[in-house]
Amino acid sequence: MTPLYDVVRKYRGKRFHMPSHGGNGRGLYASAPYDVTELGFTDNLQAPTGVILQAEKLAAEAYGAESTLFFAGGATDAVQTALYMLRGKKLAFLGDMHKSFHSALRLFSIDCIHLKDEEAAEDADFDVLCVTSPNYYGEIKDIPRLAALAAKKSTKLLVDEAHGAHFAFSSLLPESAVSYADYVIHGMHKTLPVFTGGALLHVKKSEDAAAREARAEVIGTSPSYLVMCSMDYARDLFLRKGEAYYDDVIRRIEKAKKRYPNLTFLRNDDPTRVVILRENGGKALAAHLEKKGIFAEASDRDRLVLIVTPYNVRSLKKAFRLASSFQGKNAEYADISDIIGKVSVQDVGVYPPGVPLVRAGEIFTEESVGILRANLDRLFGTVNGKILTK
C-alpha cells in the first residue's frame, strides 16, 4: 500500500503550477511526472491531513513507532526538528554526533554537555541523552542499556540512527532503536532505495503534535514529492521483500569475504556496512577503485567504507578483487601545523561522516591537526579552503 505514490503516479492533468518543468521531459527530467507541488489531492507536508499523513502512519507501523514524520531535506531536518522541540531542556551527548546536531544546539540556544562515557552519564544532570547509533562504520551502541539508564534518571533518549533505516526490514540486521528511544532519526536514502533527502523522525504519540509544529517551523516550504514518493514506495517494497533481500545480500557478502582472505575487515554490527582496513592506504585504495569504476561511500587514512545493498551486491566481488591486489599508500597533504594550539572559529571535521573533530571554541591539538591534514580534500568548516582560527 503506497497512498502518496499512488496519487502522484496517476496524475495526468495539464500543469499550470510549480515546478515549472510541467511534468514533461526525458533524460535529466525523466522523473518529472513525480515532481509535483501541494495540490488538492497531494496533501501538504507543513500540515498533512491526507495521503502524506497516511504514508507517515504506514511508515510508523513498519518501524514499530508510535508516530512518524516525513522529511525531504535529509536527517539534518529531522535532527533539527527534534532539537527545536527540546528548546529549554538540558541535553547531554555521548560519543560523536553529526554536525547538524551541533549546529542546532547553537541555532536554538540549547544547553548541552559532552559525556566521555556511560559512567559519566550516571551522575550527570540532563533532561535528554543523545547518541549516534550506528556510527558511520556500522558499529552500534547498547541502546537497551542506555534506555534503561535514561528511564532510571527519568530522562529521555534521542538516537540518531540515520544509518540504520534498513534495520527494521530484516531479522538478520541489528534491532532498531525505535523500540527503546523517545526520539529516533532515520536517513532512509542512506541505506534504502530512496532519493536523496528522504528521512524520518519517530516520536512518542504524546509528542506527535509538538513534533509536527516543530517541523513546520524548521523545514522549507517546498519539499520534494519525488523524494517523499520514493520513501512511500521503498517502505512498501522492503516490507514485502526486505527479509529475502538481506538474506541474499548478507550471504553474498560473507561468500565474497571468504574468497579474498588477504583483505582485512572491520568487525562491526551491521553486516551490510563493509569496511576494509588498510593502514595508511584507505584513501589511495578509494582512488584506485574509482579508476576502475567502483565508487565507495567514503575513505579515510586507514578505512574504505562500502554500503552494500540489494542493488550493488553483485559488484562486490569485483571491488574485493581490485582491493586485494592493490598495495598503494596515501598521498601526503600540505602542512597545517601552524594552527596547533589555536582556537577554532567554527566546527571543523571530515565529511563524510560529518562529525566535528574540533568544535567551535575548541583548541586544535597535534592529534586533531594530524587527522585534518590527512583529509584536506574533504573537510567541512572551512571558508574558501581555509581553516579559521582566533
CATH number, domain with residue 160:
3.40.640.10
At residue 232, the pLDDT reads 98
With respect to residue 144, please indicate whether it lies within any of the assigned structural domains. Answer: yes
**pLDDT (tens digit per residue) in 37-54:** 999 999 999 999 999 999
Q: Domain residues for 119?
A: 3-238
Confidence of residue 381 (pLDDT cuts 50, 70, 90): very high
Write out the three cell numbers for 75.
Answer: 536527517
At residue 373, the pLDDT reads 87
User: Of the ranges 134-148, 231-245, 285-299, 372-386, which one carries the lowest mean pLDDT score?
Assistant: 372-386
Residues 19 and 152 in one domain: yes
Mean pLDDT in residue range 338-364: 92
Q: Is the pLDDT of residue 2 over 90?
A: yes
Instruction: Of 354, 356, 355, give the one whose Cα is nearest residue 364.
Output: 356
Residues 93 and 215 in one domain: yes
Give the domain-ending residue among 238, 256, 280.
238
Would you say 381 and 351 are in contact if contact means Cβ atoms under 8 Å apart? no
At residue 215, the pLDDT reads 98
What is the Cα–Cα distance from 373 to 339, expressed in whole angstroms?
11
**Dihedrals phi, psi of 371, to nearest 5 degrees:** -70, -45
Would you say 326 and 309 are in contact if contact means Cβ atoms under 8 Å apart? no
Confidence of residue 275 (pLDDT cuts 50, 70, 90): very high
What is the Cα–Cα distance from 308 to 316, expressed in whole angstroms?
8
Domain count, the chain: 2
Residues 343 and 195 in one domain: no
What is the Cα–Cα distance from 284 to 196, expressed in whole angstroms?
27
Query: Which H, E and C letters describe the chain, residue by residue?
Result: CCHHHHHHHCCCCCCCCCCCCCCCCCHHHCCHHHCCCCCCCCCCCCCCCCHHHHHHHHHHHHHCCCEEEEECCCHHHHHHHHHHHCCCCEEEEECCCCHHHHHHHHHCCCEEEEECCHHHHHHCCCCEEEEECCCCCCCCCCHHHHHHHHHHCCCEEEEECHHHCCHHHCCCCCCCHHHCCCEEEEEHHHHCCCCCCCEEEEECHHHHHHHHHHHHHHCCCCCCHHHHHHHHHHHHHHHHHHHHHHHHHHHHHHHHHHHCCCCEECCCCCCCEEEEECCCCHHHHHHHHHHCCCCCCEECCCEEEEECCCCCHHHHHHHHHHHHCCCCCCCCCCCCHHHCCCEECCCEEECCCCEEEECCCCECCHHHHHHHHCCHHHEECCECCECCEC
Confidence of residue 385 (pLDDT cuts 50, 70, 90): confident
Residues 218 and 342 in one domain: no
Strands 67-71 and 111-115: unpaired
At residue 196, the pLDDT reads 98
Give the domain-ending residue among 204, 238, 272.
238
Confidence of residue 346 (pLDDT cuts 50, 70, 90): very high
Residues 54 and 174 in one domain: yes
CATH number, domain with residue 364:
3.90.105.10
Is the full-model pTM beyond 0.85? yes
Residues 212 and 79 in one domain: yes
Give the burial class of 367: count Cβ atoms within 10 A of its Cβ; 0-12 exposed, 13-18 middle, 19 or more buried.
exposed
With respect to residue 354, please indicate whether it lies within any of the assigned structural domains. Answer: yes
Confidence of residue 125 (pLDDT cuts 50, 70, 90): very high
Mean pLDDT in residue range 77-84: 98
With respect to residue 152, please indicate whether it lies within any of the assigned structural domains. Answer: yes
Write out the three cell numbers for 168.
Answer: 527494521
Mean pLDDT in residue range 343-362: 91
Mean pLDDT in residue range 276-305: 96
At residue 376, the pLDDT reads 87
Which residues make Cβ contacts (< 8 Å) with residue 296, sequence separation at least 6? Answer: 286, 289, 290, 304, 305, 306, 319
Residues 212 and 343 in one domain: no
With respect to residue 346, please indicate whether it lies within any of the assigned structural domains. Answer: yes
Give the domain-ending residue among 206, 238, 270.
238
At residue 375, the pLDDT reads 87
Q: Give me the chain's average pLDDT, please.
A: 95
Give the burial class of 139: count Cβ atoms within 10 A of its Cβ; 0-12 exposed, 13-18 middle, 19 or more buried.
middle
Instruction: Please report, in angstroms and rounded to a whole number, the separation of the first and last CA atoms in the chain.
Output: 56
Q: Is the pLDDT of residue 334 over 90?
A: no
Q: Is the pLDDT of residue 211 over 90?
A: yes
Q: Is the pLDDT of residue 131 over 90?
A: yes
Mean pLDDT in residue range 59-75: 98
Instruction: Of 89, 90, 5, give the one whose Cα is nearest residue 41.
Output: 5
With respect to residue 71, please indicate whether it lies within any of the assigned structural domains. Answer: yes
With respect to residue 308, please indicate whether it lies within any of the assigned structural domains. Answer: no
Write out the three cell numbers for 286.
Answer: 578509494
Mean pLDDT in residue range 169-181: 98
Mean pLDDT in residue range 77-89: 97
What is the Cα–Cα distance from 84 to 109, expressed in whole angstroms?
10
Q: Is the pLDDT of residue 356 over 90?
A: yes
Q: Is the pLDDT of residue 60 over 90?
A: yes
At residue 365, the pLDDT reads 94
Residues 95 and 229 in one domain: yes
With respect to residue 300, please indicate whether it lies within any of the assigned structural domains. Answer: no
At residue 325, the pLDDT reads 94
Matching residue, cell 594550539: 341
With respect to residue 72, please indicate whether it lies within any of the assigned structural domains. Answer: yes
